[in-house]
Structure 1
């Protein structure tokens, strides 16, 4: 069967409103004067993964529920302007949106509008089956209603990855994603014992590869029962925003995976891409290209070779 798409991305389309604050946590005050201003732009997790994959030269198709509203227009325009195919299923509750408070050091606090998703939201199963049937791989974001599409993807025969973000290792909502994916990403932010969580995911689910990103501490890779650590790399410019770093990591890791690289090298791909993403202002949606990624990876490997 001809595979017309390298990666089918499910979920995670939406709009963020960026608010730069003087510090996080933000002390209570009656008001703040915000500079350089408040800006709304398209781009949430699924959008960023799609942009990252596309910039790396992978044929990418994005599927999600999007509203007939201004936010939906922004999402559709982002994909159209970047040349990324988008299948937009009508979302009765409207397009997903969030407010991101960004501190001077690039850290962020995200406030998600939980009213935009409904329990009755569903993807059209034949559409999912058709898109998965021509894809090499599916990356599934943990937004509603992506969990319901996991069995369809499995039946279609594609490999599956997911990002659990700041899962605490216990919230049951994330378990469907964690246990049905072949490749699992998550953040170590809320984990007391990252290794225990990684091994628990691998023992209970399908994943041979589980990765925990840890910001300035690099990342931890569990592959076939062996845990390894990948140190962070120096970003190519000042760090201005951590938003999208995990998505960039996942996109670059998937590039390596689909090219047959060993997971340890895939982790280095992700580390370099994530560091680059931290240098992109939160009001923009930029991603590292394949040529620059491979050049930077080669430099790091040379520096780290004894």
Structure 2
């Protein structure tokens, strides 16, 4: 039986679903009528589910709130959260459970085809989320449209909030409210590109964030804080402890390591180093299944600190 917590370290809102993993020789895939691939696998997770599972594996008290379907994919999500000891409170959406098809090449790189499904009018009732919102140390909002409507209550309660904008290019309106109303903002260099530093500065200047982090895969991450100067600090990537199998979930694992450090009172650069360790570990197994434990995270971080 999953433990029902009276207090939470992290409350994750939105972002669960199921990935269908298709392994290909290389990306992009050549145009053809038929391409022979290896076994096609289904992995429940997605960004919100992965953050909930990853922070729980690190020993934090976690709950996940989301809208999923009464369908076989939703059943997979429920089962995966139960296996990971995540307290999961789902609302049923007639639109069904979110899905993605991810092409993964021989080096572990991926290309994702995401089916969000949520109707524009989907909302999470206040009496559903407020009881847990009042009892958490930190909220992590996935960029589901319904999640943006929690910001007023989060601010009224004074609860710190983080979000992951993924491949936001700084232009799409959907992401902007999340970027400007969160205390801690993650985004990927895949979307921001050469404009990443300017976008980090804009988020700090225009929004409430104290820290912005850009993840860049094998190139590491970049951290910019409100009081840390105008030049982002570069944190090198960690070498994975085993061969790279799949990069699915690596960014979510980075978020988990970072949040663990932040809730432990570490500074932003130390948090990013923990994120790098967790992200590297996530690449060593298929479908975001490599969840690093607290002991392994801290032991790896100590080894890195002694070698620097």
Q: Say which SS state the counterpart of residue 43 (structure 2) adopts.
A: strand
Superposed structure 1 runs of 4+ greater than 6 Å apart: none
1:275 is displaced (CA, Å) by 0.7
Who is 1:293 aligned against?
A: 297
> Matched residues in 1 for 2:200 and 2:141: separation?
18
Alignment of 1:21-170 (within 5 A): 21-35=24-38, 37-114=39-116, 116-170=117-171
Equivalences, count: 300
1:11·1:144 contact (CA, 8 Å) conserved in 2? no
Q: Of 272, 277, 291, which residue of structure 2 is paired with 1:272?
A: 277
Q: TM-score, normalised by structure 2?
A: 0.95
In the alignment, the residues of structure 2 paired with residue 69 and residue 246 of structure 1 have an alpha-carbon distance, to the nearest angstrom, of 27
Counterparts of 2:213 and 2:241, CA distance in 1: 23
Q: Which runs of 5+ in 1 are unaligned?
A: none
Q: CA deviation at 1:225?
A: 4.0
1:145-168 per-position Cα deviation (integer Å, ceiling 9, x unaligned): 111122222222210000000111
The separation in 2 between residues aligned to 1:41 and 1:254, in whole angstroms, is 23
The question of 1:237 aligning with 2:255 is answered: no
**Scaled by the length of structure 1, what TM-score is found?**
0.95
Cα deviation, residue 79, structure 1:
1.1
Mean Cα deviation higher: 37-46 or 223-232: 223-232
Q: Distance in 2 between matches of 1:122 and 1:225?
A: 37
* 1:302 matches 2:286: no
C-alpha distance in 2 between matches for 1:286 and 1:228: 27
Whole-Å Cα distance in 1 between the matches of residues 91 and 8 of structure 2? 19
3-state SS of the aligned residue for 2:191?
A: coil
Residues 76 and 86 of structure 1 are in contact (CA less than 8 Å); yes or no, is this contact kept in structure 2? yes
Instruction: Please tell me whether the aligned partners of residues 3 and 135 of structure 1 are also in contact (alpha carbons under 8 angstroms).
Output: no
2:166–2:191 Cα contact (<8 Å) kept: no
Alpha-carbon contact 2:281-2:290 (below 8 Å) kept = no
Cα root mean square deviation, aligned? 1.2
**Separation in structure 2 between the aligned mates of residue 295 and residue 111 of structure 1, nearest angstrom:** 36
**Deviations 1:110-159 (CA, angstroms, capped at 9, x unpaired):** 11124x21011000112221111000000011123111122222222210
Shift of 1:30: 1.2
C-alpha contact 1:129 1:153 (8 A) present in aligned 2 = no
Counterpart contact for 1:129–1:156, Cα < 8 Å = no
Cα displacement (A) at 1:57: 0.4
| SS state at 2:284 partner | coil
In the alignment, the residues of structure 2 paired with residue 118 and residue 166 of structure 1 have an alpha-carbon distance, to the nearest angstrom, of 22
Counterparts of 1:233 and 1:77 in 2: how far apart (Å)? 31
